[in-house]
């Protein structure tokens, strides 16, 4: 039954921003952090969600017909103002999508990236799909905030070539204010992950009124002291429209 598999809210083919080379990025729903700047708010909750993008609406009235379900609203909307976030893929179904661009991966040093939400909430599913990627010579990257038991990392380690590891800040109190959670487990997992010899790229979202400036400088120095590559990501507001379309606030709801 597909219900035992996690929901996926997007599969982006030919991505060039989710790791090296040309990649397919798979975004899984569900996250155990509550970052107020989140640019993928549709990935925060693990369940199916529906969004309404008011700026696309033609006011045709189709979605207000009596008894029309959200599912039918999405399917019938002529302006695509309604959107469904969440679909289940069996490992076979997902691999059919991922393997379609194998030649591009091999030619560019790319591969598949699992992201979210927090994809590491589903280590058994990741391990199953990633092992199939490995069998086909497809490189695997995992984009994670690291806020999971280390046993989750142990399940995916044999099949993962690169970890894109998010560090929001080093100050525990600041981290809690910005994400609703401390960072002790995140940093402890990073230390353990470094001992495996796996390739790690630290990614730091630069957020105004949170970590911009001195805190980002501290993170870069922290990475340099440990011999870790570090990439600072510029701030953007791509999540704002989606947050409004979902009809909810993001900060520690």
Tell me whether residue 225 is exposed, middle or buried, using C-beta atoms within 10 angstroms of its C-beta: 0 to 12, 13 to 18, 19 or more. exposed
Q: Is the pLDDT of residue 188 over 50?
A: yes
Residue 67: pLDDT band with limits 50, 70, 90: low
Give the pLDDT of residue 66: 57
Model confidence, pTM: 0.90
Question: Are 155 and 125 contacting, i.e. CB atoms less than 8 angstroms apart?
Answer: no
Q: Is pLDDT at 252 greater than 70 in this prediction?
A: no
For 29-57, what is each residue's pLDDT tens digit?
999 999 999 989 999 999 999 888 888 88
Q: Which of 75-79, 130-134, 176-180, 226-230 has the lowest mean pLDDT?
A: 75-79
Above 90 in pLDDT, residue 106? Answer: yes
What percentage of the chain carries pLDDT values higher than 90? 75
Q: Is the pLDDT of residue 129 over 90?
A: yes
Cβ neighbours around 167 below 10 Å, total: 24
CB atoms within 10 A of CB 32: 16
Residue 253's pLDDT band (boundaries 50, 70, 90)? very low
Quote the mean pLDDT of the chain: 91
Domains (range + CATH), the chain: 2-46+88-245 (3.20.20.70), 49-85 (no CATH)
pLDDT-based confidence at residue 250 (cuts at 50, 70, 90): very low
Query: Does residue 223 have a pLDDT over 70?
Result: yes
Q: Tell me the two tokens of residue 10.
A: 């997007």
């Amino acid at each position: 039954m597909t219900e035992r598999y996690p929901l996926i809210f997007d599969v982006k083919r030919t991505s060039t921003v989710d790791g090296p080379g040309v990649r397919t990025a798979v975004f899984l729903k569900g996250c155990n952090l509550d970052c107020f700047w989140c640019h993928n708010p549709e990935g925060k909750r693990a369940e199916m969600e529906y969004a309404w993008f008011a700026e696309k609406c033609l006011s045709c009235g189709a979605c207000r017909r009596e008894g029309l379900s959200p599912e039918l609203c999405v399917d019938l909307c002529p302006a695509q103002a309604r959107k469904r976030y969440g679909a289940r893929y069996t490992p076979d179904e997902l691999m059919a999508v991922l393997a379609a661009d194998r030649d591009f991966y091999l030619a560019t040093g790319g591969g598949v990236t699992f992201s979210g939400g927090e994809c590491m909430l589903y280590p058994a599913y990741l391990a199953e799909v990633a092992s199939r990627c490995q069998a086909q010579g497809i490189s695997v990257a995992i984009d994670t905030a690291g806020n999971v038991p280390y046993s989750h990392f142990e399940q995916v380690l044999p099949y993962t070539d690169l970890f894109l590891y998010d560090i929001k800040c080093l100050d525990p109190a600041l981290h809690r204010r910005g994400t609703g959670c401390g960072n002790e487990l995140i940093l402890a997992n990073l230390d353990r992950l470094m001992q495996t010899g796996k390739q790690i790229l630290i990614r730091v979202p630069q957020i105004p009124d949170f970590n911009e400036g001195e805190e980002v400088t501290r993170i870069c120095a922290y990475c340099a002291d440990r011999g870790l590559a570090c990439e600072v990501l510029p701030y953007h507001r791509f999540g704002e429209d989606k947050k409004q379309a979902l009809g909810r606030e993001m900060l520690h709801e």
